[in-house]
Chain A
Amino acid sequence: MSKYKRLTALLLSSVIISTMTGCSDSGVEASADEAITLRILENDTAKQEGYLDVLINAFNEAYKDKGIQAVDANMEEYSDLAANGPYGYGPDVIYQANDKLMTYAEDKHILPLDIEEFDCYEYVPEEAGDAFNINIDGETYCCGIPVNIQEPMLFYREDKMPENWQTEWDDNSNGVADFFENWNDLYAYSKYLRDTDASANKDSQYGFMSSFNNLYLNGQFLFSYGAYVFGENADGTLNSEDIGLSKGNSVTGLSALRQMAALMNEGCIDDTITMNRYEKIADGTYFCAVSTPDTYSLFVEKLALKYENEGLSEADAKAKAIENLKMVELPELMPADGDLTKNSEEMSSSDWVETVVMGGVNGYAISSYTEHREACVEFINFATSFEMIQNRMDMLGIAPTRSDVAEASGGVTDTIFESLSEGNIYLMPSIKAVDQIWVPTQTLLGDIAKDPFREAAGEQPKYFSQQEIKKAIEKVDKDIYDAIYTLK
């Protein structure tokens, strides 16, 4: 046998043996450390803006004598606890929206908690706490501690308000422009801006702008009119067999959406407005755009950049942007008949319905696979304290669920808190089946938003009557049902 063959054989054999031994031996575990280390999974914004560092440093400082320390779990924001947790790779404490957390709760991947055990309990409204309740075998368990509320908001530049708004656009003289109070005036002002657009291509000024293919940002066109995602069983639990997007007068709401789309550009059909809203609000092309409170800093950044380009220093530009950029809730009244073109002055109180937007509650939960339940409770207690929630609000612009922090800050934060308490926020259903609602609704909303542009292009519109809209939304209900149940 040649030397070459012997050498090759030896080499290959060692590769096989080393591979096999490498596979069979998982290594010696590190010796047990007395200090408890908690892995905290926060969202990306909290990491990027430095809030997670602030939280972890403050907690570690406060608990250094108790032998508990927190660290960044250093995982992808939406890493799957169900897949990683059972094998010991998941976080100990997880921060996410109620729909996501409750998906884990259904399979018991997060622990039930006694919410009364937490200091924030007395300050959190019942609605926020309920978002984390789950019914298992007839018993209700709370599986998360609320931190903040998310709902779609309107962002606009104060200097872009019409000069005469107090005389022309404030009929009730309450110091709030009518177009921020009801949708008919928002439609009217948007139409005014479109009609007076003097640019060659009529594309320099728009009023209200939103990517209509997004249910979360445009749920008001359904939920204000009595639609719902999942019905309720007699015991108050959600019934995923009862899909109700076509229920109530949702057809009326979708007609209003169709009307509003006609005053926008084709960007409302897809994600275009979601992507360019920061820039277009900054340059004044859009008067107002819909987004969530956690994107506040992105609007400020774009506006500050504009001011910097105009010659202001970085600090001055940011200060001016913060002063000029405003965030308000969506108008609180929608026309009961879905006709946005009606003059609001001629409408009585019975002609309106209250706007109900889609929202969510973000909160903390504890992984069922943690070995340090009590330490996790300590961490959540600390993270939901008045100081930390206020810090979170200051750094991230969130709307807290703690009433004392909301009251102390006042303004929009307090208003969002009130909206939740008054039931004007339809919380994302906290069951697994909610995953199936997004794509069918996204497809339909985008399709209805396209209708005015079909008409403008001389094509046959699809949704020329309410019957057509009714058929389409009923089909969405069926599609969602099929997606949940066909393959079960």
Chain B
Amino acid sequence: MEQKRGLLKSSFPVKASMVIMGTGQLLQKQWIKGILYLTCFVSYIVYLALTGVEDIIGFFTLGTVKGDAWLGIEGDDSIMMLLKGLLAFVITAFFVGIHKSNINDAHRSDIKVKQGSVLPKFSKACGIFFDKKFYIIALAVPVVGVLIFNILPIVFMILISFTNYGGDVVPPELVDWIGFDNFGKVLALSEIKDTFFKILAWNLVWALISTLVNYFGGLGLALLLNKKCVKGKAFWRAFPVLAYAVPGFITLLGFKFMFSYGGPINYYITMSGGSAIGFLDIDAGLTAKLIGILVNAWISVPTSMLLATGILSNMNKDLYDAASIDGASKWKQFTKITLPFVIFSTTPVLITSFVGNFNNFGIFYFLRGGLYNEGYFLASDTDLLINWLYNLSIDNNYYGIGAAISLIIFIITSIFSLLTYVRSGAYKKEDTYR
């Protein structure tokens, strides 16, 4: 507030900088800085004149001319317009940030001049900036990377969920903004709503069970291989690592074949006089779910095992000796010493594992793709939300609906991750050395 009042009462150079970037600095005889700010200002104005204004308008209209390749009419590409509009907003936000820094800089210089100080030369000012604000330079690349590769796609997906993009509305057709209609369809249209909630329920159960199975499977294996009585530990540890080293989808196709009617499991069942079992066919909902959990464990337990092995190697053996002297049973030692220690160290991994399993696309896509079950809209009873999302958006081109479901998944997993992490010991006692 005080700064705002200061700015209002500021001198002419500061006010000049508010109107045209860099002019204040030029009036204060900071030539290089002034030229740089002025260049930014002119570049932004030129950008607006050349394409920026058009891009911002296009963001709202999403195009007005439909293309016709046969007639040579190029037409508007709604999705490109949405992207360019988004970029225009990012550039504008960037410009606003620079403009603010320009005003602040002119204001600071103004105060220094009034105090009788000599304004530093550009090279010295840069040196001071690099020295005092080094964290800005150091974080710039990662922040730009996160912005381009994480934030922008998420924002793009969020925007798509508010359009009618998909189905018959794909370029050259023009896309329109439709507000919350897609969310309305997911949550209100009876066929889709029922499918959504059925899949969501199974998805949560799946994510929870598979995370626990993978986590405790890996921990159990690590504890087993940590025992003194186990000979050739390195040799035994190599086996799970081999399973981990094989590309996941190859493993999944292998398992699909093993459990198919023509696979080795059914071969031995029929050879021994039994009837072939449809482990993954249309009637096999529960069996297929169990197979999915086991196959996922086969792929993921080695990672947990390696992680747990590393953590266990840091355990203080004296704790166990002391516990034994106090008469604690092995189970007590596990629940009171080992488990708290491992969980403290691996809470973030547990969260990412849960989110990873929640969005585990490959398992049921490869094991049981190509089925639509009764009572499900374009989905089977083993499909997770991510598989349904794929069916809708890739197989059936319903991108808008797909984006709306993505956003719902994003909200669920974000809330879960944040709540779990913030409530965990790993966050509350971040600085604690265990």
Contact = CB atoms under 8 A, between A and B. Distances in A.
Interface of A: 1, 5-6, 8-9, 12-13, 15-16, 19, 82, 86, 107-109, 111-112, 201, 203, 265-267, 269-273, 275-276, 368-369, 432, 435-436, 439-440, 442-443, 446-447, 450, 453-454, 456-457, 475, 479, 482-483, 486-488
A175 B387 CA distance: 53
Contact of A270 (B137, B281, B395): B281
B137 A450 contact: no
Contacts of B281: 269-270, 446, 450
Interface in B281-297: 281-283
B282 A450 contact: yes
B398 interface: yes
B130 A9 contact: yes
Interface in B236-261: 260-261
B270 A488 contact: no
Contacts of A432: 168
B77 A86 contact: yes
A486 B192 contact: yes
B137 A8 contact: yes
Given A447-B282, A450-B278, A475-B374, A272 B401 contact: no
Contacts of B68: 108
Interface string B185-199: 100010110000000
Given A265-B276, A266-B261, A368 B70 contact: yes
A275 B262 contact: yes
Which of A86, A483, A487 has the most B CB atoms < 10 Å from its CB?
A487
Interface in B256-276: 260-263, 266, 270-271, 273, 275-276
B271 A201 contact: yes
Contact of A436 (B140, B192, B396): B396
Contact of B372 (A435, A443, A450): A443
29 contacts: A1-B127, A5-B131, A8-B137, A12-B137, A15-B141, A16-B141, A86-B77, A86-B172, A108-B68, A201-B270, A201-B271, A201-B273, A265-B276, A266-B276, A267-B262, A270-B260, A270-B281, A368-B70, A435-B395, A439-B370, A439-B378, A443-B373, A450-B278, A453-B276, A454-B283, A486-B189, A486-B191, A486-B377, A487-B401
A446 B283 CA distance: 11
Nearest to A459: B283
B6 interface: no
B144 interface: yes
A487 B185 contact: yes
Given A265-B261, A265-B276, 13 more contacts: A16-B140, A16-B144, A108-B68, A108-B70, A111-B69, A112-B70, A201-B273, A271-B260, A486-B189, A486-B192, A487-B392, A488-B167, A488-B168
Contacts of A369: 69
B168 A272 contact: no
Contacts of A442: 370-371
Contacts of B271: 201
Nearest to B398: A487
A275 B261 CA distance: 11
A436 to B, nearest CB: 7
Given A16-B141, A265-B276, A450 B378 contact: no
Contacts of B378: 439, 483
Contacts of B131: 1, 5
Nearest to A203: B270
Interface in B121-144: 127, 130-131, 134, 137-138, 140-141, 144
Contact of B140 (A5, A12, A453): A12
A476 to B, nearest CB: 9
Nearest to A280: B262
Nearest to B273: A201
A479 B380 CA distance: 13
Nearest to A112: B70
B270 A368 contact: no
B213 interface: no
B170 A107 contact: yes
Contact of A111 (B70, B192, B374): B70
Given A436-B396, A486-B192, A109 B141 contact: no
B425 interface: no
A275 B185 CA distance: 40
Which of B170, B271, B371, B373 has the most A CB atoms < 10 Å from its CB?
B371
Is chain A's interface secondary structure helix, strand, loop, or mixed overall? Answer: helix
B171 interface: yes
Nearest to B282: A447
Is chain B's interface secondary structure helix, strand, loop, or mixed overall? Answer: loop
Nearest to A457: B275
A443 B282 contact: yes
Contacts of B392: 487
A134 B166 CA distance: 22
Interface in B172-231: 172-173, 185, 189, 191-192
Contacts of A203: 270
A55 B403 CA distance: 44
B371 A9 contact: no
A451 to B, nearest CB: 11
A109 B138 CA distance: 47
- Identify the 3 closest CB pairs spanning chains A and B, nearest first: A272-B262, A368-B69, A1-B131
B117 to A, nearest CB: 20
B392 to A, nearest CB: 8
A394 B137 CA distance: 66
Interface in B399-420: 401
Interface in B57-92: 67-70, 77
Nearest to B270: A201
B70 to A, nearest CB: 5
Contacts of A453: 275-276, 278
B69 A456 contact: no
Nearest to B373: A443
A446 B380 CA distance: 14
A270 B172 CA distance: 38
B377 A482 contact: yes
A5 B377 CA distance: 58
Contacts of A108: 68-70, 172
B378 to A, nearest CB: 6
B244 to A, nearest CB: 27
B390 to A, nearest CB: 12
Contacts of B266: 266
A276 B264 CA distance: 13
Contact of A82 (B167, B171, B192): B171
A43 B141 CA distance: 43
A72 to B, nearest CB: 24
A443 B396 contact: no
Contacts of A19: 144
A282 to B, nearest CB: 15
B147 to A, nearest CB: 12
Contacts of B67: 86
Contacts of B280: 270
B70 A487 contact: no
A86 B278 contact: no
A446 B171 contact: no
B60 to A, nearest CB: 22
Nearest to B374: A475
A257 B282 CA distance: 18
B282 A446 contact: yes
B191 A456 contact: no
Nearest to B71: A108
Nearest to A106: B168
Which of B68, B167, B401 has the most A CB atoms < 10 Å from its CB?
B167
Nearest to A1: B131
Nearest to A479: B372
A451 B206 CA distance: 30
Contacts of B401: 487
Nearest to A274: B262
Interface string B35-75: 00000000000000000000000000000000111100000
